Structure 1
Amino acid sequence: MTGVDGSPGATADGGPLLLGVRHHGPGSARAVRAALDSARPRTVLIEGPPEADPLVPLAADEEMRPPVALLAHAVDEPGRSAFWPLAEFSPEWVAIRWALEHGVPARFIDLPAAHTLAWQGEDPASRQDGTGEAEPGPSVDGRGDGAGPTGAAGPGADGGPEDTVRVDPVAVLARTAGYDDPERWWEDVVEHRGAGTADALAPFAVLEEAMGALREAFGTGGCERDLVREAYMRLQVRAARREFGRDVAVVCGAWHVPALRRRTSVAADRALLKGLPKVRTDMTWVPWTHRRLSRAGGYGAGIDSPGWYGHLFAAPDRPVERWLTRVAGLLREEGRIVSSAHVIEAVRLAGTLAALRGRPLPGLSETTDAVRAVMCEGSDVPLALVHDRLVVGDVLGEVPASAPAVPLQRDLARLQKRLRLKPEPQERELELDLRRETDAGRSRLLHRLRLLGIGWGEPVVSRGSTGTFRETWRLRWDPELAVRVAEAGVWGTTVLGAATAKAEAEAVAAQALAEVTALAERCLRAELSDALPVVMRVLADRAALDADVGHLAQALPALVRALRYGDVRGTDTRALAEVATGLADRVFVGLPPACAALDAEAAEEMRRHIDAVHGSVGLLAEGAVGARGGLRGRWCSVLRVLSGRDSVPGVIRGRAVRLVLDDGELAQEDAARLMGLVLSPGTAPADAAAWIEGFVGGGSGGGMLLVHDERLLGLVDAWLTGVPADAFTDVLPLLRRTFSAYEPGVRRTLGELVRRGPGARGGAAATGSGPSGFAVERDAGRADAVLPVLRLLLGADGAGGNGAAGLVGVAR
C-alpha cells in the first residue's frame, strides 16, 4: 500500500504538508502564507486544473491584478466552460504568489478541466448561465470556485435540489459550537484569530481533525464525484513526493484533507479514474469582479462580502477603524453629513456590540449595525449603498496582454483601446453622437458585438433627443462575456469579420420574413457592408415567396428604420429602398381582403399592423420623389376602402377613419357623419363599441380629439346612453379599455363635458354662466374679469396701453 499519510497539518513523520483552507477566506490566506514561510517547502501543490500550470508565471506579471479567474472552455464547443476565480485574499492566490516569489514550482493537482467539461456535457443541468462555473460553495469543502467536476451549486449556495443532501461543513461546525450563523462562527474562529501564533501549522491541524470527524459522519457529503477528484489529487501528490522528496505543501479545501491523508493503493486510485470522459480544452486568465464572488452575483462563489474580506486581508492594523473611515468617505461623496465624530462613535458602538455578543472583535454585522445607527440615522437606504459599493464592491481585475487569448479577444481589446471604451463592472450610460467619428466607431463596435451575442451594451431610449444621429447605450462588462467572445471566435478572428460571417449565416437560416428585415436593420447599424448584399438577396427571395399580409406588414417597419439609419450613417440603401417600396405595394394590395371576416383577436392584431404600416409609409414617403412620392396617396386610398367595407371588423374601420382624419384627408364633418352612421340604432352595440375603440383607442390620442370636438363626443355620449341594458354589459369591457388608457387630465375634462350635457351648451354660450372652463363660444366678460389679477402678477399698470391690450389678448 502506498499512502500520503502524515500527522495532521505537519510533516514530522514524512507526510506532505496538507493545508486545508476555505476558498476566498482572508484568514485562511494569511495562515497559508505563515505556514509556507515556516515550512519552506520545495514545491507547492494547489487545488485547481493542471492545464493551468503554464499560466502560473503570469501571476507575477505587473499587469496582473486580482480578482481574476482561470477560464477553461472546450475547443470544439466554447460555450462549455468553467471558471476558477481567485481574489487577492484567496489562499490559492497567496500560495501561487509565495511560490513565484521564492522560486518554488507551483502546480495544480485537481481533476483536469478536460474531464470537468466533459462531465458538464453529460449533465447539462450542472451548467449555470451557459458557463458552468464549477461547484461554488461557501464552506471549506474544497468544492468551491470552480474546483469541482460539475457546475452545480455547492453546499450552502442556492444551487438547486441537491442542496438538501449535501453537507456544509462550516454550518455543521458552527451549529456544534452553538452558532446559528456559519459566517459569524468562521469570522470568530479564523478571521479574527490573532496573527503571529507560535505554531503556524496549529490551525490547520485543528481544522483537519474537525474535517476528519465530519467525513466519518457524512462520507462524501452528497458529492460522489469528490472521490474521483481526491483519487487524482492523491496520485499527483505521490508524483510530487517522488520528484521533490518530503518537502511538499498541498493547499486544498479542508474537506479534502482527510481523503488525501488516507492510505490507499495506487491501483485503487487509478481504477477510479479509468474511463473518464474527456474533451479538448483551452485555458487562460480572464478578469473577474468582486460582485461575481458573491452569491448575489448569480455565480455564487461562496462569500457574501468580498469587499469586506478584501479589506480584512489588506488592512495592516485597526481594520474596524479603517473600514468605518471608508464608509464615512463614501457617504460624504453621496452628500450625507458624516463627521469624524460619527466615525469615533461608530467604532465605539461596534466594539460594544461585539462585547455584548461575546465576539473577540467586531465583525461585519457589528460594523453594519453601528453604521446604520450612527451614520445612517436608522435608515436602510444609505446602508444599501454601503453594502453595494463596499461590502460587495465592483472591483474589476486585470489580465496582462501576454495571457493566451483567442484572436477575436485580441482584436476586441485593440478596438476598446483605440475607441477609449474601457470595460467596467459598474453599469453606466453612454451617449453617442453618430456625427462624430469616435462615437460612430463605438456604435459600430457595440452593434457588432450584439450581433455576435456579446451583450456588453444594451441600447436604451435616449432622454435628450429622438434624432437618428443619437444613440444611448447602457454598458456593463461581466466576466462571463469572455466566454461569449470565445464562442464568437468560431465566426472569425476580428470583430468585423466574425459579425459579417454570422450575419450571412443567420440570413440564410432565417425562416420568417420579419427575421430577415430585422437582420438587415442590424447590419446597417453595425455597418456590415459585406454582409448586406447577402441579406438583401435573401430578403428579396423571402418577400417574393411570402404571401401573408401580416408577415409583410410586420417586416416593413424594420426596413424603413434601416433606411433612416442608413441615411445618418452614409450607407448606400438604394437596394433596400426598392425592396421596402415593393413590400409596401404588396401590403396595399393584400390588406383589404386580409382584413375581412376576422375574429376579435385577429382584428386587434391586424389593427396593430395597420398602425405600424401607417408610420412606415409616412417615413418612407417623406421627401420622396417619383414612384415613391405616390405612396402616401395610395395608402390613403387603402384606408378609405377599409373604412367603408361592412365585412371589415369595427376596430379596423374605426382606425382607418381616424388615420385618414389625422392626415388631413378627411374633414371633421365627414368623420362625424361616419361616426353617426356607425352609432345608429341599426348597428350592433358590440360592433359600434369596437369602432369607437379603433377610432379613439389604442393610445392614438383620441381623448384630446373628443375634448376639442364636442360634436364627436356628443355622438358617443348619445349612442352610449341609448345602448340597451342587456347589451351594455357586453360593450362595457371594451369601452373601459378604451377610455382607461387616457391621461387623468383628459378623463377629468371629458367627465366635465359629459356632466354638463349637450342641452346646457347653448345656455352656457348665451348667459356665460356655464361650468368654469367650458363653453361653445368665447366669453369676453369672463376674460376681462381676470385682468386685474394678471396686472398684479405681471406688474403691469394702467398707464401701459400696449401692455393692457396685450393682457386683454391673452385673457381672451
Structure 2
Amino acid sequence: MAPLLLLGVRHHSPACARHVEATIRAHRPAYVLIEGPADFNPHIEDLRLDHTPPIAIFSYCADETTSRSSYSPFCAYSPEWRALRTAFEIGATPLFCDLPAWHPDFGERANRYADPHPLLARRHAADAALQVNLRAEGSDAAWDALIEQAEEARLPKLLETYFELLRPDGAEDAREAGREKFMAAHVAWALKEAAGRPVALVCGGWHVGGVRRFLGEADGARPICPQPPEGARAESYLTPYSFARLDAFSGYAAGMPSPGYWNVAYQSGLEAAADWAMTRIGAALRDKGLPVSTADRIAWRAHACALANLRGHRAILRADLLDAALSALVKDGLSGPAAWTRSGAVTGAADDIVVEMLFALCDDKEGRLASGVRLPPLIQDLERRLAQYQLTPDRVKKLVAIDWRDKTRRGKAHTLHQMRLLELPGVLRIAGPPHADARDLTETFEIAKHSDWMAAVIEASRWGGDLPMAATARLRARLDDAPGNVDTLAAALSDGLFAGLYEAASSTVELEKHAAACREIGPLGRAARRVTRLYRFGDVFGATRALAPLAQTMFERILFLLEGPVGDGRPSIDAVIAARDFARGCDGLALSLSAAREVFERIVANAETPPALAGAALGWLVAMGFGDAGDGAAARIKSCARPENLGDFLGGLFALAREEIGTAAPALVAVDGLVAGWTQQEFLAALPAMRGAFAWFPPREREALARVILQLSGREAADAEAIALDWMRQRKSVESQAQAMDAEARALERLARWGFN
C-alpha cells in the first residue's frame, strides 16, 4: 500500500505551512487531500488561478425560509493554501476531503476551521503545562515558542508530540466523528488509487488521531459527497478576504493572532517581522498622539532582546516585542492583563494602547481574485442594472438624487433600495426622511467604490441569483428571525415597498392580523408610526387603499391598549403620536374621533396614569383642538409639579403638541414657576428628563422658547434675544455644566458645615 503522509497542522501557522510545503516537495505524493469542502472539488481549478491571498471559499445552503453560510479562508501562509499551490506545481492531484460546509455536523459554525467546542479539560491542562515550561504567558505565546521558532528538522516530531499531547491516539470526539470518518474514507480511496505513490493528508492536528482510527474501518470506495436537503440550493464561490477578518483578536475562531506580523515572518523571517512590527506599532502610537522617540525604540529593542534571551528564544518573538513595548512605551498601568495573553476577540474592556498595538500587527491587507474566476450570477445581474441606471461605483463618490414623484426614476430608486437591503458597501442613503412622508418625496444616495464590494456581493449571492430575488429573500429572512413582531413587519413593509418588491394589497394582511392581536404598546406604536408615513406616501406605491384597513386596525388597537397597563408610560408616546397622525394627517380613514377623545380625556383625568402618558394624552387633545394649550394645559402641568414627574409629563406633552404649547405663555410660565421652586438637588435629579422633554424642540425653536421665558421674567426683548442666543451657542455641554453645578453645591455645603460663608 502507498505510504500515508498524515500532516496535522494548526490553521494559518507559518511553521506548519513551511513543513507542509517541504514534505510535499520531498515526497511528491500522487494525491494531496486537504481539510476543506468536498463539494468544491468540481471547481478546484479555480484555485489554480493567480489570486492574491487572503481569499476564502464562501459556501452557502439556502431554501425558501433559511440561509446558512460558511467560510474556508486561506492566506499566503495557510498550510492548506501551501498544500494546494505545491500540489499544482508538482503535478499532484489536490482534493478537499471534508464534509460540505452546510452539513449538520458543523452545527452553527460560520467558519470551517473554527474550534467546534470549548477547549477540553485535558487541552486546558496541556496548554497550562506548556506555558509554565516555556515561560510563556498565553497559549499563543506557548505555540510560538514551541513551534514557530523551531528548527525545520525538529518540527515534524514537535508537531506530532504537541497534537498527541492535546488529543492522545484513540481519544474519541463524538462531535467530530462524522467529519473524521469522511476524511478517512477519502484517505483510504486515495491510497488505493495511488498505485504505490505516497498520499498526503493536510488537516487540523486535532483530527489526526480520529482519522487514523477510522482509516481501518474504511472500505476504499470513493466517498460520495452529501447532497443538500430537498428544495435547498447549495453553492460555493471564491471571495476576497482580509487580514482584519482573519485575525484571532477580531473574533476569528481559528486564526493565528496578528496576521500582518506572521505574513512578514513567513516571507522574511522572525527578525524581519520584529523590525516590521516595531515600525508599525511606533507609527500607530504616534498617530494617536503618543510620542515614540528613537531612544524609545532603542530601549524597546534592547528590552525585547533581553526577554527573548531570558526565555530561551532563538529570535525575538511576538510576545517578546509586545511585552517589551509595555515596559518601554507604556507610561501608565493597564486595567488588566494584556489582551495578547489570552485567546479570543479583543473586547471594549481592553486598554486603548493595547488595542492600537494589536491592530497595527493585524495590517490592512485585502485579498484579490484573479480574472477569469467563476462568479455567482448575482454579480452579472447587478453589473447590468448598475450600468443601466448609471450607478456603477467609481473611485470618486457620486451623489444620486431621487424624486419619487418622477415615475421614470423609480426603477433606479428600487435598485438602490434593493442594494441597501443586502447591505452592500459603498451604497449610502445620506438624505431623505427616515420613512416615507408626503411632505418630502426626495432622497439622496452616495455611491462609491468600496474595497469590500466584490466580497459582499459574492456573499449576498446566497440570497438569490438576481438582485430582486436576493433582496426579497433577505427581507423574508428578517421576518423569519422575528415572527409576528409588528415592528419588524412594518419595517419590512416599508423597505419592501421602497424596493419595489411588495404589492401593498398582499403584504399588509399579515401585519394587520398581528397588529389586531398585539399586546405591547411600544412595538405597536413604532409600527403604527411607520404606517402613518407610508399612508401619506401611499399614492406613489398605489398603496393608500390597501393601507387604510391596516391603519384603522392599528388606531383602534392603540386606543384599547392605552387604557391598560403601560409601564412607566414612555413606550406609549410613539403610539399616541401615531394616533394623532392617523387622525390629523391621513385623509380618508374611517376613525371614531369622538371615541378617541373620550379615551384620552379618561387617561388625563386618571390620577394613576404615568406622567409620560398623561402628558402625551393631553398633547393629543391639544393637537386635535379638543384641549386648551393655555390655562388648561398650565393647570395640568402644575398637577405634575414633583421633580421626578414633570420631565416625563412634559416629554409626552411636547412630543404631541410641541407647536401649540411652544407659543402658549401660560404653559411656559407654569413650567418656569415650578422649576424656580426646586432645590439644587431636585433640579439636578430632574435635569435628564427635562432635557429629554425639551429635545422635542429643534434648536431654532429652543432658542425662541428661551427668549419667551426671559421676557416673561422681565427682560427686554433685545436683551432676551442676546442671552438666548448665547445660551444656544454654549461650547460646554449641559452635562458638564450640571456636574460643575453639583460639585459647586457640594463644596458650598461643606464650607457652610464648617462655618465658612
Taking structure 1 as the reference length, the TM-score comes to: 0.64
1:713/1:330 CA distance change after superposition, 3 Å:
closer
2 CA distance for matches of 1:710 and 1:265?
84
- Do the aligned residues in 2 keep the contact of 1:73 with 1:117 (CA within 8 Å)? no
Cα deviation 1:224-268 (Å, max 9, x = unaligned): 745862674365256346435234444334455566678x985x3
1:33 aligns with 2:21: yes
- Tell me the residue number matched to 1:562: 534
Structure 1, unpaired ranges of 5+: 5-14, 121-125, 138-151, 154-158, 424-429, 622-626, 680-684, 722-732, 748-771, 787-812
1:658/1:192 CA distance change after superposition, 3 Å:
same
Aligned-pair distance for 1:117?
0.6
1:94 aligns with 2:94: no
Task: Give the AA of the match of 2:73.
Answer: P
- Do the aligned residues in 1 keep the contact of 2:188 with 2:218 (CA within 8 Å)? no
1 CA distance for matches of 2:131 and 2:221?
33
Task: Give the AA of the match of 2:303.
Answer: L
2 CA distance for matches of 1:502 and 1:457?
18
- Do the aligned residues in 2 keep the contact of 1:320 with 1:367 (CA within 8 Å)? yes
Select 2:443's aligned residue among 469, 473, 497.
Answer: 469
2 CA distance for matches of 1:659 and 1:79?
45
- Tell me the residue number matched to 1:753: none
- Tell me the residue number matched to 1:246: 197
Cα deviation 1:354-406 (Å, max 9, x = unaligned): 22333221111222234445556558766345345332344433334644454
1:287/1:349 CA distance change after superposition, 3 Å:
same
1:613 aligns with 2:588: no
1:645/1:24 CA distance change after superposition, 3 Å:
closer
2 CA distance for matches of 1:711 and 1:258?
82
Aligned-pair distance for 1:76?
5.5
Aligned-pair distance for 1:212?
5.0
SS at match of 2:218: helix
1 CA distance for matches of 2:58 and 2:324?
40
- Tell me the residue number matched to 1:112: 99
Cα deviation 1:3-62 (Å, max 9, x = unaligned): x6xxxxxxxxxx334444322111121233333344444443333343333333222322
Select 2:114's aligned residue among 122, 131, 136.
Answer: 136
Where do residues 34-183 of structure 1 align in structure 2 (5 Å cutoff)? 34-62=22-50, 64-74=51-61, 79-108=67-96, 110-113=97-100, 117-120=103-106, 126-128=107-109, 131=110, 133-134=111-112, 136-137=114-115, 152-153=116-117, 159=118, 163-164=120-121, 179=136, 181-183=138-140
1:300 aligns with 2:253: yes
1 CA distance for matches of 2:485 and 2:712?
54
Task: Give the AA of the match of 1:136.
Answer: A
1:21 aligns with 2:9: yes
2 CA distance for matches of 1:188 and 1:416?
52
The structure whose Rg is larger is 1
1 CA distance for matches of 2:25 and 2:689?
72
- Do the aligned residues in 2 keep the contact of 1:20 with 1:204 (CA within 8 Å)? no
- Do the aligned residues in 1 keep the contact of 2:425 with 2:452 (CA within 8 Å)? yes
1 CA distance for matches of 2:715 and 2:281?
64
Task: Give the AA of the match of 1:67.
Answer: P
- Do the aligned residues in 1 keep the contact of 2:651 with 2:693 (CA within 8 Å)? no
1:184 aligns with 2:141: yes
1 CA distance for matches of 2:355 and 2:446?
25
- Tell me the residue number matched to 1:725: none
- Tell me the residue number matched to 1:288: 241
1:485 aligns with 2:468: no
- Do the aligned residues in 1 keep the contact of 2:243 with 2:363 (CA within 8 Å)? yes
Range with greater deviation from structure 2 (347-356 or 35-44): 35-44
1 CA distance for matches of 2:562 and 2:717?
52
Where do residues 502-513 of structure 1 align in structure 2 (5 Å cutoff)? none
- Tell me the residue number matched to 1:802: none
2 CA distance for matches of 1:446 and 1:708?
49
- Tell me the residue number matched to 2:700: none
- Tell me the residue number matched to 1:777: 714
Range with greater deviation from structure 2 (608-617 or 99-108): 608-617
Aligned-pair distance for 1:407?
2.7
Select 1:355's aligned residue among 299, 309, 318.
Answer: 309
Select 1:399's aligned residue among 353, 356, 369.
Answer: 369
- Do the aligned residues in 2 keep the contact of 1:447 with 1:525 (CA within 8 Å)? yes
Task: Give the AA of the match of 2:460.
Answer: V
Aligned-pair distance for 1:741?
0.1
2 CA distance for matches of 1:287 and 1:337?
36
Select 1:207's aligned residue among 159, 165, 181.
Answer: 159
- Tell me the residue number matched to 1:742: 690
Select 1:448's aligned residue among 403, 418, 430.
Answer: 418
Aligned-pair distance for 1:494?
0.9
1:494 aligns with 2:466: yes
Where do residues 303-702 of structure 1 align in structure 2 (5 Å cutoff)? 303-315=256-268, 318-333=272-287, 337-338=291-292, 342-374=296-328, 383-400=353-370, 402-408=372-378, 410-412=380-382, 419-420=391-392, 434-435=401-402, 444=414, 447-449=417-419, 451=421, 469-470=443-444, 485-489=460-464, 493-500=465-472, 517-528=490-501, 531-535=502-506, 538=509, 555-562=527-534, 572-573=539-540, 575-578=542-545, 594=560, 598-599=564-565, 601=567, 607-614=573-580, 620=585, 642-643=600-601, 654-659=615-620, 661=622, 669-671=630-632, 674-675=635-636, 679=639, 695-698=649-652, 700=654
2 CA distance for matches of 1:238 and 1:606?
67
Task: Give the AA of the match of 1:612.
Answer: A
1 CA distance for matches of 2:515 and 2:550?
9
Cα deviation 1:161-214 (Å, max 9, x = unaligned): x633667866665556565543223222332235xx5x5xx5214433554576
- Do the aligned residues in 1 keep the contact of 2:494 with 2:530 (CA within 8 Å)? yes
- Tell me the residue number matched to 2:730: none
Task: Give the AA of the match of 1:189.
Answer: L
- Do the aligned residues in 1 keep the contact of 2:77 with 2:263 (CA within 8 Å)? yes
Give the fraction of aligned pairs with identical amino acids, expressed as a percent. 22
Aligned-pair distance for 1:86?
1.7
- Do the aligned residues in 2 keep the contact of 1:71 with 1:284 (CA within 8 Å)? yes
- Do the aligned residues in 1 keep the contact of 2:631 with 2:666 (CA within 8 Å)? no
The two structures, once aligned, show a CA RMSD in angstroms of 5.8
1 CA distance for matches of 2:363 and 2:398?
25
SS at match of 2:254: coil
2 CA distance for matches of 1:643 and 1:180?
68
2 CA distance for matches of 1:296 and 1:605?
38
1 CA distance for matches of 2:126 and 2:551?
68
Where do residues 690-729 of structure 1 align in structure 2 (5 Å cutoff)? 695-698=649-652, 700=654, 709=667, 711-713=669-671
1:27/1:74 CA distance change after superposition, 3 Å:
same
Cα deviation 1:631-677 (Å, max 9, x = unaligned): 99x9799659844888767555643444555788866544257539x
2 CA distance for matches of 1:464 and 1:520?
16
2 CA distance for matches of 1:518 and 1:709?
37
Aligned-pair distance for 1:320?
1.6
Task: Give the AA of the match of 1:532.
Answer: E
1 CA distance for matches of 2:719 and 2:69?
77
Cα deviation 1:272-327 (Å, max 9, x = unaligned): 99999864654332333333333444440142322322221133663222322233
Aligned-pair distance for 1:93?
0.6
Aligned residues: 663
- Do the aligned residues in 2 keep the contact of 1:81 with 1:483 (CA within 8 Å)? no
